[in-house]
Chains A and B, each alone.
Chain A
Amino acid sequence: MLLYTLRRILIMIPIMVMISVVVFALALAMPGDALSGQIDPANSDPEYIEEMRERLGLNDPVHVQYGRWMAGVVQWDFGRSFVHRMDVTEVIGQRLPNTILLSVMSLIITYILAFTMGRYAGRHPYTPGDYGIQGINYLMLAIPSFVAAIFAIFFFSFQLGWFPATGSVGSGVTPGTFEYYLSRLHHAALPALVLGGLTTASYTQFLRNDIIESSQKDYVRTARAKGTSENEIYNKHILRNSIIPIVTLFGFDIASIIGGAVIIETVFAYRGIGELLISSIDRRDSSVVVAVTLMLSVATLVGNLIADLVYGVVDPRIRVE
């Protein structure tokens, strides 16, 4: 397992380098100065731009620029944000806790919903309850996240008034107090519900099919023959086996949450990384865009790595070769 882990991490290094090259190429194509973020995008005086480009080294050969940029990146220096007037790492640092809160909450919601629905549908297959859950699944798979988010805001925020429609924290609460944290949870609840709710479909389906398949197996018949109660068979014998494949989906979830968060955060005006990406593109704050893109790519890569490693733990055959 250790050898497998090390090999898997070593493979990641060249991929990371190639991804950094692609992001760098995108940075060169972006408007303004994406690598250091020090040229005023509003100032269109050609003399000013030329002088700044010369001073910042933007007229150097491409490989020199790439080397300088990478040297900064590995030292956690992504330049400055022109809009926010501070270091890019600081801007991202302010937003990151919000996105992490949203992701963790949505993951918890996904697991609770999928677990409840999948277990019920698997234990009572081909009943009205099962068909109902299947119907919900199809709808969840079909409805795009931004459409679901707008419907959710309409019903839960405006009609019922249960959740705030936008923002990540209420106004007038002092940071550090109990109300402050409660307000943040309250603001994250609805986006997390939409984000988590939409990803339950595949989990539910997976769990349901696995439970139905397992319930035909020999060990279940043995358990029944011994006189084990149905509850115990389903909750102890079958469920423990069916949960294993679910665990492996976790790594892939990181990738899907990253994509989903960009849209959901924008709809809810929730101040996280995804909303930062969109608003930075709109305001031509290229240095932030480059940093966020690189960060999300690395996060996706790490998600795939976790998926592979967990898979290796669960299924030893993967580790061979």
Chain B
Amino acid sequence: MSSIDTKKAEELEKKAKKQSPWAIARRKLFKNKLAMISLAFLVVVTILAYLAPVIAPFDPSRVDIINRNSPPGGDYLLGTDNAGRDVWTSLLYGARTSLTIGFVCMFAVVTIATVIGSISGFYGGWVDAVLMRFTDFMMNFPFLVFVIVLASIFREAGIWALIVVLSVLSWTGAARVVRSKTMSEKENEYVMAAISIGGTPFKVIRKHVLPNVMTTIIVQATLLLAVMIVAETALSFLGFGVPSGTPSWGNMMQEARQPHVIRNAWWIWVPPGLAITFTILAINFIGEGIKDAFNPKSLR
């Protein structure tokens, strides 16, 4: 009798181990075809971007004065731009710039948002009040206007200034989400138990609260990656982003600010335009997939 019970208990335990929330989520995510195709696309784009020095046929700053504005074909797979640079080479190097800025900004923003959100949600009281009033205050700025004005002031400082400006102005929404999730997590008994056995607030947040807030943070991070890439390309397009000598998807689109380029030289602006759109689309699908995978209510 007792042996059957232990056997059953063991079996149940085994099953329970198999069915950890992360395992369920991973299985669900792997079944999501759209998310998997998007992930594959993003991985391929990232690999191409970082292998740019190896696979690009030309030097990114090489200028071919005779073959300016030449259509696709011949030596140049995707044609050349106004200055005689190879569009395919610029596209590869541009991907590297745009993706790097996107990823670095994403990590910076997620770090700021996690620190402020978890401290605010865990401590509550006046700490929460001060931090949240500050967050509300930051939320009142029109994001793009302030990014443009700040980026124009620090225009000479280069890419790092751009990353700092973008990160400092865009953590508010994610911080709020992390805070509310931390607050609801804090009410659970295990947190109380952790505090009661003498865990310091920092340790309790790091070891007990954060792992449970992680899913929310991951979903926020994917959304932010898309937002940051769009912000960088839009700024570069307007001339306030990456310095014009460095290829980036936004800088490539900048030439399309002249109507005659839009009308006559589609090969200059169509490749970066499609690259940005499909990358954002892929990131959004991955984000949706992750969100869906961690949602216990979803049927998939």
CB 8 Å contact bits of A285-296 with B (1 = contact, 0 = none)? 000010011001
- Interchain CA distance A166-B230 in the complex, whole Å: 23
Whether the Cβ atoms of B280 and A144 lie closer than 8 Å is yes
Which residues from A are CB-within-8-Å of B36? none
- Interchain CA distance A292-B152 in the complex, whole Å: 15
Which residues from A are CB-within-8-Å of B137? 15, 18
Whether the Cβ atoms of A296 and B253 lie closer than 8 Å is no
- Interchain CA distance A165-B278 in the complex, whole Å: 25
* Given A154-B263, A158-B262, A296-B142, A278 contacting B148 (CB threshold 8 A): yes
CB 8 Å contact bits of B257-277 with A (1 = contact, 0 = none)? 101001100100100010011
A150 within 8 A of B: yes
CB 8 Å contact bits of B122-153 with A (1 = contact, 0 = none)? 00000000000000010011111110111011
* Given A144-B234, A147-B276, A263-B234, A293 contacting B281 (CB threshold 8 A): no
Binds B, one of A51-59, A108-116, A254-262: A254-262
Whether the Cβ atoms of B234 and A165 lie closer than 8 Å is no
* Given A18-B137, A26-B153, A282-B239, A142 contacting B148 (CB threshold 8 A): no
* Given A26-B150, A29-B153, A150 contacting B144 (CB threshold 8 A): no
A267 within 8 A of B: yes
CB 8 Å contact bits of A197-224 with B (1 = contact, 0 = none)? 0000000000000000000000000000
B88 within 8 A of A: no
In the complex, number of A-B residue pairs with CB atoms less than 8 Å apart = 101
Whether the Cβ atoms of B273 and A297 lie closer than 8 Å is no
Q: Is the interface of B mostly helix, strand, loop or mixed?
A: helix
Which residues from B are CB-within-8-Å of A147? 253, 273, 276-277
Whether the Cβ atoms of A297 and B145 lie closer than 8 Å is yes
Which residues from A are CB-within-8-Å of B226? 142
B284 within 8 A of A: yes
Whether the Cβ atoms of B277 and A262 lie closer than 8 Å is no
Partner of B145, one of A146, A153, A277: A277
CB 8 Å contact bits of B197-221 with A (1 = contact, 0 = none)? 0000000000000000000000000
Q: Is the interface of A mostly helix, strand, loop or mixed?
A: helix
- A275-307 interface with B by 8 A CB criterion: 277-278, 281-282, 289, 292-293, 296-297, 299-301, 304
* Given A18-B137, A142-B284, A146-B253, A266 contacting B142 (CB threshold 8 A): no
Whether the Cβ atoms of B237 and A255 lie closer than 8 Å is no
Which residues from A are CB-within-8-Å of B152? 281, 289
- Interchain CA distance A238-B144 in the complex, whole Å: 37
Whether the Cβ atoms of A146 and B237 lie closer than 8 Å is yes
A19 within 8 A of B: yes
A181 within 8 A of B: no
B254 to chain A, nearest CB (A): 10
A131 within 8 A of B: no
Whether the Cβ atoms of A293 and B234 lie closer than 8 Å is no
* Given A15-B137, A158-B262, A262-B144, A142 contacting B277 (CB threshold 8 A): yes
- A130-168 interface with B by 8 A CB criterion: 138-139, 141-147, 150-151, 153-154, 158, 165-166
B238 within 8 A of A: yes
- Interchain CA distance A8-B170 in the complex, whole Å: 25
Which residues of A approach B to under 8 Å, CB–CB? 15, 18-19, 22, 26, 29-30, 138-139, 141-147, 150-151, 153-154, 158, 165-166, 255, 258-259, 262-263, 266-267, 277-278, 281-282, 289, 292-293, 296-297, 299-301, 304
Which residues of B approach A to under 8 Å, CB–CB? 137, 140-146, 148-150, 152-153, 226, 230, 233-234, 237-240, 253, 256-257, 259, 262-263, 266, 269, 273, 276-278, 280-281, 284-285
| 11 more A-B residue pairs beyond the given contacts A150-B269, A293-B145, with a C-beta to C-beta distance below 8 A | A18-B137, A145-B234, A146-B237, A153-B259, A259-B145, A262-B148, A263-B238, A277-B148, A281-B240, A282-B239, A296-B145
